[in-house]
A = this chain, B = another copy of it.
Amino acid sequence: MDEAFDSDLLRGSLDLMVLGVLADGPKYGYSLQQSLRTASYGRIDPKAGTLYPLLHRLEDDGLIRAKWDTSTGRKRKWYELTAAGKKRLKHQAHEWYAYADILRRLLEPVVAPPQPA
């Protein structure tokens, strides 16, 4: 069974993934963690010590908006994308596509990709 990816792969793309998941609708931290894990077949599993500071950063940057839900005993902090967040998501996604394409082009001749066509 494959295990978690090298942590360094997350650098520079974890923000993007979080924004991407939130584009699907509001989530709270813990559920976001689970969404990432299931969406990646368990191979991307950001730790709490990573995720919460990250969410605070995104909030400080105005990319997401937080709202506490204290209606139940379990206090949950729900996050949703702001307009700026949606804009950033699009931009970062295109940056990512461009980056991945360059890398793919560089690797293709030396290491064949899994399923070519």
Number of interface residues of A (CB under 8 A): 43
What's the least CB distance linking A5 to chain B, in Å?
A: 5
Report whether B96 and A13 are in contact in the complex, using a CB–CB cutoff of 8 Å: no
Report whether A95 and B5 are in contact in the complex, using a CB–CB cutoff of 8 Å: yes
Report whether A103 and B17 are in contact in the complex, using a CB–CB cutoff of 8 Å: yes
Q: Is the interface of A mostly helix, strand, loop or mixed?
A: helix
Known: A93-B107, A110-B20. A98 touches B39 (CB 8 A): no
Known: A95-B5, A97-B114, A98-B43. A106 touches B21 (CB 8 A): yes
Report whether B98 and A100 are in contact in the complex, using a CB–CB cutoff of 8 Å: no
17 A-B pairs within 8 Å (CB atoms) are namely A2-B98, A5-B98, A12-B12, A13-B103, A16-B107, A20-B106, A39-B102, A41-B102, A43-B98, A43-B99, A89-B110, A89-B111, A93-B111, A97-B107, A97-B114, A98-B114, A100-B100
